Amino acid sequence: MDFRLSFIEFAVEQRVLRFGEFTTKAGRLSPYFFNAGLFDHGASLRRLCQFYVQAIEAGGIAFDMLFGSAYKGIPLAAGIALTLAEKGRDLPFAYNRKEAKDHGEGGLLVGAPLAGRVLIVDDVVSAGNSARESVEIIRAAGAEPAGVAVALDRMERGQGDHSATREIEANYGLPVIAIASLDHLLGFLQHHSNLADHAAAVRAYRQRYGSLPDDSSN
């Protein structure tokens, strides 16, 4: 099985990918919800980060370090760095706080100093707001964002008619790597009879909030 479909299957098994009615960060009512915070055991987080590394290696992006977007990107950056180190590539990583610390080391950033080409890691791309914040943080530190790696690309519109993924690529010149996309999720649902009832709701959501049919990022 392709690693992207294997990832969807793994997320469903771990109940990280769930179906029902959920309000997203963008304020949209979604028939599915992906919560990377539920990869909350060592073994599941390790497997998740292995999927990330597969996608990152397949994407072929050159980068010097990892940046995890608070909060869900924090364990991801650490776990991906560990997985890469196990494969013989030892890279620094950093992450941000939501609020600046005014004592101790202070500031918004924790970990290695941001330098060189920085790969942003997060859980999903929905409207793209988190990626935009990360790009601003990295550039403000004098480093250069190299790309964005996420677990799931929801393939939703960003601030305009195109997908948030395409907007990130167009506005910042950054490639976006996803382990899997909404299209992979729909393909998975259509081939699993016990989940087939959810496929219609997901397709309807895709029609309402998805990017234009000719969007080249899809």
The catalytic site residues sit at 101, 103
What are residue 84's phi and psi, to 5 degrees? -65, -40
* Cα distance between residue 68 and residue 75, in whole Å: 8
* Cα distance between residue 164 and residue 158, in whole Å: 4
* Cα distance between residue 118 and residue 36, in whole Å: 21
CA-nearest of 80, 1, 66 to 36 is 80
* Cα distance between residue 117 and residue 102, in whole Å: 28
